[in-house]
Amino acid sequence: MEYAQGRQTITVRQIVEDLKAIGANFSHNTIISSLNRMVSRGLIQKTERGIYNLTTKGKRQFVAYYDNEMHELDKLLAKEFPFLEYCIWNSEDIRHYSHYVVNMDILFVDVEKDGMEAVFSSLLNHVELKRLVFKSPSEDDYANYITGKSCIVIRQLISQAPLVSFGDGSKRTSIEKIMVDVAVDSDFRSYQGYETLRFYRNILDQNDINERRLLRYAERRSCKEKIAMDIAEVKQNKIFD
């Protein structure tokens, strides 16, 4: 499944070649038997002779990257701003699906508009964070001060953004929020244009997305038509690496 989830399509021949490359030798019959079991479980489907792809059931449910550093930042904000709506997420969630390599190590703190200045001032005073802190940075800021450094970027959280609540009280980004933000926000200019289509291709290949939630958020961002067209193009055309 891990092999399949990283590819748009899988073939018996390619599996054999990739396994040989890492020193694992399996016969065609063994691989076909495994694929047939996955088909019977509804995890993959056979599209042509010897060619398979993932079904919705076989795709991952996206879970945003979250580590100890983010957890500590979450606790800090929850203590200082218990009634503030915010979401912490990581540039790793973009890098995982992108072909375009940008040296980014950013914790994004998306905060409701009225709390942005207070959060910015608070984080500037916490030297133990060991990250540069920026509020609504410009493209020049990204080029000159952010790319290649460990930073915290405070951005405006759009009301009714699709977030995921966890049992520890934290709220994390959904894949649908990332897809819209990357397509339209100036923070992600390097990932826009044709790169957005490749980004979407990788997400759709690996994850089950909620298109209604995606387009509802896109409508909040006044870009529903653009996102719908991008998704349609990715589904209808082969997006080249």
159-176 tens-digit pLDDT: 999 998 887 778 999 999
Q: pLDDT at position 6, please? A: 60
Higher model confidence: residue 53 or residue 194? 194
Q: pLDDT at position 75, please? A: 93
**Confidence check: pLDDT of 146 > 70:** yes
**Confidence check: pLDDT of 133 > 70:** yes
Contact call for residues 102 and 147 (beta carbons, < 8 A): yes
Q: Provide the phi-psi class of 142: left if phi over 0, else alpha when psi is between -120 and 50, else beta.
A: alpha
Q: pLDDT at position 129, please? A: 86
Length of the chain, please?
Answer: 241
Q: For the chain, what is the mean pLDDT?
A: 88
Q: pLDDT at position 58, please? A: 62
**Residues in Cβ contact with 226 at an 8 Å cutoff, skipping those fewer than 6 apart:** 183, 184, 218
Averaged pLDDT, 234-238? 83
Supply 89's token pair: 């997420």
**Confidence check: pLDDT of 53 > 90:** no
Instruction: Write out pLDDT tens, residues 95-128.
Output: 989 887 778 999 999 999 999 999 999 999 997 8
Q: pLDDT at position 2, please? A: 66
203 residue type, one letter: I
12 residue type, one letter: V
Q: Class assignment of domain 2-54?
A: mainly alpha
Domain residue spans in the chain? 2-54, 68-236
Averaged pLDDT, 43-47? 79
The residue among 181, 236, 173 whose CA lies nearest residue 204 is 236
d(CA 28, CA 11): 11
Lowest mean pLDDT among 5-19, 84-98, 99-113, 177-191: 5-19
The residue among 84, 104, 83 whose CA lies nearest residue 93 is 104
The residue among 27, 34, 116 whose CA lies nearest residue 10 is 34
CA geometry: angle 173, 84, 167, nearest 5 deg: 50
pTM: 0.76
Contact call for residues 61 and 164 (beta carbons, < 8 A): no
d(CA 227, CA 197): 10
Q: pLDDT at position 240, please? A: 62
Strands 86-90 and 105-111: antiparallel
Paired residues of 133 in beta bridges: 152
Q: State in Å, rounded, how far the first CA of the chain is from the last one.
A: 22
Q: pLDDT at position 11, please? A: 86
Strands 132-135 and 150-156: parallel
Supply 120's token pair: 């910015």
**Confidence check: pLDDT of 241 > 60:** no
**Confidence check: pLDDT of 7 > 70:** no
Q: Provide the phi-psi class of 141: left if phi over 0, else alpha when psi is between -120 and 50, else beta.
A: alpha
Averaged pLDDT, 227-239? 88
